[in-house]
Amino acid sequence: MSDDTPFTPRLGPIRDRGGPAGKRLRRQLAKTGKRLSNAPRKSSFTGARYGSGGAARTRASAGRHLSRLQRRRVVVKVHIARAGRAGPGLYRAHVGYLQRDGVDREGEGGVLYDRDNEGISPRDFLERSEQDRHQFRIIVSPEGGARMGDFKQATRDLMARMEADTGRRLDWIAVDHHNTGHPHTHIVVRGRDARMKDVVIARDYLTHGLREAAEDLVTQRLGPRRALEIAETRQKQVDQDRWTGLDREIENLIDGSVFEPGDASSSGERFSRSLQIARARHLQTLGLAEPAGAVAWRMKPGWQEQLKRRGRRGDIIRTLAAEFGERKKHIQFVQDRDADATPIQGVVKAYGAEDELRDTRYMLVEDFDGGIWHVPAGAIDPTSRPSRGAVVELSRASALARASDTAIARVADETGGVWSEDLHARHDPGSKPAYRLSLKRRLEALRRAGIGERL
C-alpha cells in the first residue's frame, strides 16, 4: 500500500452487501442496462416444434445412457412433396420410380410393403392419395445395413415409433433398395391420416427426432458400437474423397483459414490429433489445403463444398459401375469443361437418380468417340427431356441472370447476403407461397452449381 493514497477501511458484518439504498441502485442500473441494450430480442417461438411429434424428441432424449459415438449411425433424409400443378401424377411417378428394375438384391424391381403385407400393389395407395395436398418422402440408410438383413421389420418398428411420437395412425408404403453400396429404405407417407386429417409433423422431429428414433432401433438390434469399431470407422475416413466426421472436427478447429491441431495429453486426444493431421495431409494431396507451418495447413476457400461434390460424384460412379464396368473410370462431367469448349454430340444412354426424394435425374450421354458424359439435373429441362437413344448436342449455356435471380439478389442485398422464404415474405408481402417455393428451388440449383450454400 502506498503512503500517497492513505485510506481507512470500515469493515461491516460478514456477507454485508450494503443497505437498501445500494440494492435499489443495483436494480436501477440493471433496468437502465436492459433499456439501453441494442441486442435484438429473439422470439422464443420458432415453429420448429409446431405440429405432431414436437415434444417426442425431448421425451426420447431423457433416458439415453449411450454416448453419441456409441450409438449406431443412421442417415435419414426427409422431403415434403407438394402436388401443386402436377397433381397426383407427381405421386404416381415417384412410386413408379421406386419400383424400377435393378433395386433389389437379385437386380429386379422393388417390392412394396406396408404395416401388414408384402408385395402389395401401389394402386390403392395412390388412389387414396390423389387429393392429398402433400406427402412425406423419407430415406433411411443405417450404418452397417448389410448386417441387418431384411429391413422390413425394422421399417415397421420405426413407423410404429413414428406413429406413437406423432399420435396419429399413418398411411404409408415402403420399398427396400440394394442397388448402391449403402442399402436403404424409401418410405412414402400420405399427407392425411386414418381420420382424413392433414398430417402436420414438427420440423424439429423431421430433422432430428426421426433420426434419433431410427438410431435407437438400430442400436437395439446390432448393439452399441464398440471402441474398436469407432476407431476403425474414424481411421477409414482419413483417405476418403468426401465430407467426413474428421473434416467437421478440422472445421471446428480452424482459426481464420488456418487449421492447426491443438496439444494432446491423453491417449484418446493423441489418437484424434494423429487422424486430423493425416486427414489434413490427404486434403493437401487433393489440392484443398496447403502447408502453413510445421504442423499447420491453410484451407482453400470452399473446400467443404468441393469435398461434398467429390462425394456425390463418387456415388454416381459407383452406381454406374454395374452397367458400364471398367468404362466407369472414363465418365466425365460436362460442368468441368471450359466455357469456350466445343459442343459435344452424342446419344442419350441412360438417366439416373440425382435426388431420389425430389425426383431429379441426371443424364448420361455417349459421344461419338465412346466417351461417357454426365449431365446434371439442373441442366435438363424436365418438361422436354430427350428420350433414350436420341442424338443431342451439349454446350454451355450463356450465364444470364434470370428474373428469379434478380428477385433473390434484391432480398439478399438488404439482409447481408442471406435469403429465406420468411425474409422474402417480409420484403415482398404480396408474393405467394408457390412463387417463394420456386425461388427456393432456384437456390438449390445455384447451390449445386457452387453458387451459395445452405445455412
What CATH number labels 56-222? 3.30.930
Residue 259 has pLDDT above 90, yes or no: yes
What burial class does residue 15 get, using C-beta atoms within 10 Å of its C-beta: 0-12 exposed, 13-18 middle, 19+ buried? exposed
Q: What is the pLDDT of residues 274-292, one digit of tens each?
A: 999 999 999 999 999 999 8
Least confident of 139-148, 201-210, 279-288, 300-309: 139-148
The residue-averaged pLDDT of 388-414 equals 83
The residue-averaged pLDDT of 86-114 equals 79
Highest mean pLDDT among 43-47, 83-87, 201-205: 201-205
Residue 246 has pLDDT above 60, yes or no: yes
More confident residue, 269 or 109: 269
**Of 96, 110, 183, 174, nearest in space to 136 by CA:** 174
Confidence category of residue 63, pLDDT binned at 50, 70, 90? very low
Say what the pLDDT of residue 86 is.
Answer: 65
Residue 47 has pLDDT above 60, yes or no: no
More confident residue, 38 or 418: 418
More confident residue, 146 or 123: 123
Cα separation of 103 and 122, whole Å?
17
Tell me the three cell numbers of residue 187: 418410405
Identity of the amino acid at 183: P
130 Cβ contact list (under 8 Å, min separation 6): 87, 88, 91
Q: What percent of the chain stands above pLDDT 70?
A: 80
Say what the pLDDT of residue 62 is.
Answer: 42
Confidence category of residue 396, pLDDT binned at 50, 70, 90? confident
CB 173 within 8 A of CB 95: yes
Confidence category of residue 107, pLDDT binned at 50, 70, 90? low
The residue-averaged pLDDT of 103-132 equals 86
Residue 50 has pLDDT above 70, yes or no: no
Q: What is the pLDDT of residues 13-35, one digit of tens each?
A: 655 555 555 656 676 777 677 66
CB 346 within 8 A of CB 366: yes
Highest mean pLDDT among 170-174, 340-344, 368-372: 170-174
pTM exceeds 0.75 for this model: no
Confidence category of residue 322, pLDDT binned at 50, 70, 90? low
CB 367 within 8 A of CB 346: yes
Residue 51 has pLDDT above 90, yes or no: no
**Of 417, 412, 442, nearest in space to 427 by CA:** 412
Residue 54 has pLDDT above 70, yes or no: no
The label of the residue with cell 422464443 reads 44
Say what the pLDDT of residue 174 is.
Answer: 94
Residue 114 has pLDDT above 80, yes or no: yes
Confidence category of residue 293, pLDDT binned at 50, 70, 90? confident
Beta bridge partners of 366: 347, 372
Mean model confidence pLDDT for the chain: 82
CATH 2.40.50 fits 320-394, yes or no: yes
The label of the residue with cell 442500473 reads 29
Cα separation of 159 and 141, whole Å?
14
Cα separation of 62 and 160, whole Å?
20
Cα separation of 244 and 237, whole Å?
6
Beta bridge partners of 290: 298
Q: Is 70 helix (H, G, I), strand (E, B) or coil?
A: coil
Say what the pLDDT of residue 404 is.
Answer: 86
